[in-house]
Amino acid sequence: MSSKWGGTALSHRSYRLASDTDMPKVAGIVNEKLLSDYLNHIFPSTSKPQQPAAAFRKPLTFLDLGDHLDRLLAEGEPAEESKDVDGRLGPPTVVLDHTSGFEGLLLVDDDLLGVIGHSNFSSIRATTCVFKGKWSYEVLISSQGLMQIGWCTLNCRFNQEEGVGDTADSYAYDGNRVRKWNVTTTNYGKSWAAGDIVTCLIDLDEGTISFCLNGQSLGIAFNSIKIGPGLAYFPAISLSFKESVAFNFGSRPLRYPVEGYQPLQDPPSADLLKAQRLLGYIKNVFTTKIDTQEGKLVEKDSAAWELQGETTVLVTLAHIFNHFAPLMCKVYLVEGVLMRFLLSILEGGGSVDEHPLIQQLLDLMWLLMEDYEVNECLKQLMMSLLRAYRFSPIIPDLGFQIHYLRLTTAILRHEKSRKYLLSNVLFDVLRSAVFFYIKTPLQVKEAGLEELIPTTWWPCHFDKEGRDEREAREESPEERLRRRAYERGCQRLKKRIEVVEELQVQILKLLLNNKDKGTGEASRYIFLNKFRKFLQENASNRGNPTVLCPPEYMVCFLHRLIAAVRFYWEESKRKSSGVLGSEEAYVPPQLFYNGKVDYFDLQRLGGLLSHLKKTLKDDLASKANIIIDPSEIQAMSMDDLDEDEENGTVQRPAGATAMGGALARPSWLSSPTLGRANRFLSTAAVSLMSPRRPLGTPERMKVRTLSVEQRTEEDIEGSHGNDGLLQGRPPEESDQPIAEKSLLEIVDGIVMMYNLSVHQQLGKMVVVSDDVHEYAVALKDTEEKIARCPKQREDILEELVKSQKVFTEKLNHLSRRLAWINATIYSKDKMLDIYWLLRVCIRSIEHMDRTGSLFAFTPEFYLNVAMNSYSALKNYFSPSNSMDELPGYEETLTQLAALLAKHFADPRIVGTDIKDSLMQALASYVCYHQSLRAVERIPEEQRVAMMKNLLAPYEQRPWAQTNWILVRLWRGCGFGYRYTRLPHLLKIKPEDANLPSLQKPCPSFLLQKHMADLLSRDKEMAASFLNSVLNQLNWAFSEFIGMIQEIQQAAERPERNFVDTRQLKVCATCFDLSVSLLRVLEMTVTLVPEIFLDWTRPSAELLLRRLAQLLNQVLNRVTAERNLFDRVVNLRLPGLESVDHYPILVAVTGILVRILVDCEMQGVARAAAVLLSDPCFQLHSIQHLLGESELLSSFRAAPPSAERKHFSLHTYTDYISPEEQQKVERMLSFLTNESQEAAASAAPTSEEDLCPICYAHPISAVFKPCSHKSCKACINQHLMNNKECFFCKATITGVDDYSKPPAS
């Protein structure tokens, strides 16, 4: 038999059948009569003429069985049909027209049935058109974005803006916007989702076009379409960027055939008839037993059939498979015949183990089919199963999904088939992650969720900030009943989903089997190498989403993989008593630096791997006994150089990049046809996808990848003194066995998976919960309005009732959909998986930290996953599941706190992004009471070290988050600083009430004490820290003032100008930074006032003068009458909501009260003297705090309008205590008296005696050796950054006090 693949002659195995000349007549098998009866029973004739009686029938033997079988297969065979079918024009095999029938940029699969949009709006049509009759085709929706699917004529001209349905002779259905298109558009149909199937129908006899979604008719979309001579319609689609579909014109059985409509491509009727007959013969073999003792045939149950080496049966099957095997290489027959038969075997229910017939059939296929035939058959069978699973509609019992997963499990239970599929199909063609996905239904009604969850529920009580108050208030009996009924429905749904999940875990357990070594390498090691390659593809193509495994698939894959790995981990613990349990799992340090595991080009904490191997080669040799070959270092250096060159050449126009083949193959992800190569189509050219790099480069770049794929069990597990993956154990690491080494690498891959896309998807799915919350708040508000609405206003009441109905219907839909999402993504079991992953990361980082300098080899994603998984547990799984119920949660919080406290300023970490992430994580950590207490529980030495790092000068590092951390430690202690939200924002609903900045104040007195001790003991550190804070405050407030000037100028222009939202955001950020810096100064003044007021400290006077100068500048800018600040605040621009008088003025007031009221007399006197001597000091700015400046200026200005409200601390009685108000009044009285006395006693100073730098203070210092003079404030501030004289540039060696000599 010749093969259809490349014309190479491939013959069947040479079986010695009955036709051989040396075979005895009776064949030595069974007697001739019994054999004849058996063969006639297995191969009954299908012709109608009366058969001769058995006694007169010519005996049938193996000698003439071949001819007999040929005659049977030829009976009833349809005559060869002409290639031209009435009503259809084009080639018999219908595909997408990749030569001329497209517009825009497209990626088309190698089978020319799957397509991905790669430009704004791309269009493509099929190669065949129809002009008469009733026709149909199916489209498998892979992504639910903007697409228009339908029919068009050859005259239609599409472009990047207009596609199918936008021209006169084209008609389309758009399930994304739920509309139909034919130049104009109207509402039509239902919304589609990824995993749905759209059937497109055209009736050219009646002139109608209609569509079906998952087999349900959407009705006639278009009547009276143009028909007649010269008009023929092509299947066509237009789709936007990254959207993807696959077509089925008839190359496979249609999933939802419609009576009266025929597919565009004719089914292989003759081959289909043959395959069905041959399968019938195989079934006859399974149900017939030869009783040689009794000399008769016995009927038996096919489920109990086994291949027992019976020669008669085996030779019979060999004849059947001689015809059956070539047919099973065709996808239509595999899906339409073989897969249906296999599914029918499992229809009786029971476990997969109870149906051994599938295993027996697979044994026969491997025995009686050529290797290339069984390989192609298994590949097509698995692809068909995937399509069936992925595009099955969701029904209440998930029966379709369970059915296909059971068959997948049964096939993978066969060892040889499993290893072939694992080696060549599951990761290379199908991408097995698809089998572990459970899609979320968009249509609640179609999914049967109304039956499972008849009663819906949602939170009904909210506080003034929009938070759920269910715990604070008692539920009514009716609410309690509804909630419990809803929870029961959710539990029913969860149990059904768990059945699917358990089947998926069973599949992974089969793939992770490491005992099946009978036919070569164990499955686990094949899986491990393929899994690593899978991770590499997803890690290296993160900038190109079309080639990535979808995040929703990754989430499900991760959970099933964790379950399977933990199962095998616990199994290995039971067998070896010294092995750790999975609860104590971690990834040992050796994996990160011994080169046994490939981390591709992922960043390490210490930088590039090549750099670390050069700089830390001595540490590797001394600590881990790993010697780096100098030639390897040189090769890595050259690799880095080549990478830089390549990165430079990649900067090309997008079009050039696309045409150069820089796009990787995305077919497995988005196209359900899952082809192994793609064509890239554009209006300029058509070319096959080419490799990402020149042909000479991959050999060098793939060295590590190839070594990973070629690893054996010995390379991974080790043997005879070889530690395998754990080679290079550092002395700090125990020699206690952890687990099987292959499991350690899989756990490492799970951590990487979470970092790649799982965390992102967990955050994305929370939007449904947020929607439920928003609609619940809106419904509650509407119900309150209905209760308040006057009875005579029936018009308003009617509108409110309509709104109430809409909100209720939406909530019913969303609450059922949320139940599905909670069961598949946010269930308690899934939460425990993420929590286990968090603990794995923490323990792995702790073990790596003990290795000292080798810690730099740790991949960055371990720290990222530790931070992100904690964030997911806190923000995504609550409130449906409480973190407090997690086992060992308090201890884990403390471990994570220690990790963040130690590593946010770890010099071994060089990456800017990971440093910022650590700082942000610590800033968020201290915002919550429970996690802040965890920080307080870490050892004192670590707490003090953390505070010391936080108090480092703000220059040359990202200081904003550091400052925020200090502010959070203080919040709740400062002047008027006990609020959660600013007073003027209370009426505005927060975007997210769970934001760290919106948490209730929870100050840390313990960490404040550490800060005070550090600043008191280390005078140099205190001075440098405070000078940096003052410098940043000066910068932030100056930037803020400059920006609001620009905003005010834009607002006053007569023409309509829109201020850039980015500028508004930066302006608000500068204001918030100014307020937070002032709060840190208030914290410092309160905890360690001597830094400013004890002038025996070298920098105290300078710091106090700088502080007074900045406070006066802020007060003058903010409190001036009808000033710039007032005008911008009154504009109430979106983006500047946080800009208001209260936050900045109370922060300044807190500092002033502390140094002018709460300190001892000597300190108060010094502070008052410095404040009053500052030339910017204005008493009315202080009076403005209590609203008194308005009284003084009322006689100079017109009375303010009734709408104008003046700022006064007296109006904020909910935020400022009476005691605090009294202190402000005392401060104002004190400053008033002091300023009057100073004015009365001040003697006029001549201009010659003023400092020539600031002209504000008298000369008080003389420089050495040049004897130039200035005031102390100017020279001290100058000497902080410069040692040269202002005037002569001589180096200043000292500064002496200067007093003017008495006049002669």
* pLDDT band at residue 350 using 50, 70 and 90 as cut-offs: confident
Across the chain, what does the average pLDDT equal? 83
pLDDT confidence of residue 717: 82
Query: Exposed, middle or buried, 925 (CB in 10 Å: 0-12/13-18/19+)?
Result: buried
Does the pLDDT of residue 198 top 70, yes or no? yes
Judged by DSSP in three states, 678 sits in: strand
Q: pLDDT of 624-642, one tens digit each? A: 888 877 766 565 555 554 5
Beta bridge partners of residue 137, listed in sequence order: 200
Does the pLDDT of residue 516 top 80, yes or no? yes
Q: Which of the two residues, 710 and 433, has the higher pLDDT score?
A: 433
Mean pLDDT over 366-389 rounds to 93
Q: Which of the two residues, 1051 and 153, has the higher pLDDT score?
A: 153
Query: Side chain identity at 876, as an amino acid letter?
Result: Y
Query: Exposed, middle or buried, 207 (CB in 10 Å: 0-12/13-18/19+)?
Result: middle
Does the pLDDT of residue 218 top 50, yes or no? yes
pLDDT confidence of residue 910: 93
Tally of CB atoms within 10 A around 1235? 17
CA pair distance 965, 943, nearest whole angstrom: 13
* pLDDT band at residue 791 using 50, 70 and 90 as cut-offs: confident
Q: What are phi and psi of 1284, to 5 degrees?
A: -95, 150
Q: pLDDT of 1091-1106, one tens digit each? A: 999 888 888 888 898 8
Q: pLDDT of 453-468, one tens digit each? A: 999 988 776 544 444 5
Question: By mean pLDDT, which of 43-57, 236-250, 851-865, 1210-1224 is the weakest?
Answer: 43-57
Contact 949, 942 (CB under 8 A): no
pLDDT confidence of residue 51: 53
Q: Please name the residues in contact with 690: beta carbons below 8 A apart, sequence gap of 6 or more.
A: 660, 661
Q: Which of the two residues, 28 and 45, has the higher pLDDT score?
A: 45
Does the pLDDT of residue 1257 top 50, yes or no? yes
Does the pLDDT of residue 505 top 90, yes or no? yes
Closest CA to 1151 of 1113, 1097, 1107: 1107
Question: By mean pLDDT, which of 694-703, 784-793, 958-967, 1131-1140 is the weakest?
Answer: 694-703
* pLDDT band at residue 396 using 50, 70 and 90 as cut-offs: confident
Does the pLDDT of residue 706 top 50, yes or no? no
Percentage of the chain surpassing pLDDT 90?
44
Percentage of the chain surpassing pLDDT 70?
85
Q: pLDDT of 1148-1179, one tens digit each? A: 999 999 999 988 888 899 899 888 888 788 88
Mean pLDDT over 12-33 rounds to 49
Distances (CA, A) of 222 to 95, 155, 257, 281, 873: 25, 19, 20, 48, 50
pLDDT confidence of residue 994: 67
Mean pLDDT over 1031-1051 rounds to 88
Question: By mean pLDDT, which of 580-584, 648-652, 724-728 is the weakest?
Answer: 648-652
Q: pLDDT of 668-690, one tens digit each? A: 333 343 433 344 444 333 322 33
pLDDT confidence of residue 7: 36
Among 326-330, 992-996, 1132-1136, top mean pLDDT goes to 326-330
pLDDT confidence of residue 656: 32
State the Cα torsion 97-99-104-107 to the nearest 10°: 70
Does the pLDDT of residue 643 top 70, yes or no? no
Contact 82, 89 (CB under 8 A): no
Mean pLDDT over 1058-1069 rounds to 84
* pLDDT band at residue 1062 using 50, 70 and 90 as cut-offs: confident
pLDDT confidence of residue 137: 96
- DSSP classification of residue 43: S
Does the pLDDT of residue 304 top 50, yes or no? yes
Q: Which of the two residues, 144 and 647, has the higher pLDDT score?
A: 144
Does the pLDDT of residue 11 top 50, yes or no? no
Does the pLDDT of residue 1077 top 90, yes or no? yes
Does the pLDDT of residue 1191 top 50, yes or no? no
Q: pLDDT of 480-493, one tens digit each? A: 899 999 999 999 99
**E strands, 371-523, where?**
none
pLDDT confidence of residue 714: 83
Query: Exposed, middle or buried, 56 (CB in 10 Å: 0-12/13-18/19+)?
Result: exposed
* pLDDT band at residue 1058 using 50, 70 and 90 as cut-offs: low
Mean pLDDT over 276-292 rounds to 90
- DSSP classification of residue 765: H
pLDDT confidence of residue 2: 39
3-state DSSP: the chain helix, strand, coil percent, rounded to 5? 50, 10, 40
Question: By mean pLDDT, which of 8-17, 258-267, 327-336, 1258-1267 is the weakest?
Answer: 8-17
CA pair distance 646, 174, nearest whole angstrom: 42
Contact 1273, 1257 (CB under 8 A): yes
Q: Please name the residues in contact with 1017: beta carbons below 8 A apart, sequence gap of 6 or more.
A: none
Both tokens of 181, joined, read 């298109």
pLDDT confidence of residue 461: 63
- DSSP classification of residue 1211: G
Q: Please name the residues in contact with 989: beta carbons below 8 A apart, sequence gap of 6 or more.
A: 465, 466, 777
* pLDDT band at residue 1081 using 50, 70 and 90 as cut-offs: very high
pLDDT confidence of residue 669: 35
Both tokens of 304, joined, read 């109990």
pLDDT confidence of residue 546: 61
Contact 931, 893 (CB under 8 A): yes
* pLDDT band at residue 82 using 50, 70 and 90 as cut-offs: very low
pLDDT confidence of residue 473: 54
Mean pLDDT over 228-240 rounds to 92
* pLDDT band at residue 112 using 50, 70 and 90 as cut-offs: confident
* pLDDT band at residue 1289 using 50, 70 and 90 as cut-offs: confident
CA pair distance 552, 390, nearest whole angstrom: 13
Pairing assessment for the beta strands 134-141 and 262-263 based on DSSP bridges: parallel
Mean pLDDT over 119-129 rounds to 91
Question: By mean pLDDT, which of 54-58, 63-67, 532-536, 809-813 is the weakest?
Answer: 54-58
Judged by DSSP in three states, 246 sits in: strand
Q: Which of the two residues, 463 and 1009, has the higher pLDDT score?
A: 1009
Q: pLDDT of 324-346, one tens digit each? A: 999 999 999 999 999 999 999 99
Q: pLDDT of 831-849, one tens digit each? A: 999 999 999 999 999 999 9
Closest CA to 460 of 475, 442, 447: 475
pLDDT confidence of residue 1280: 63
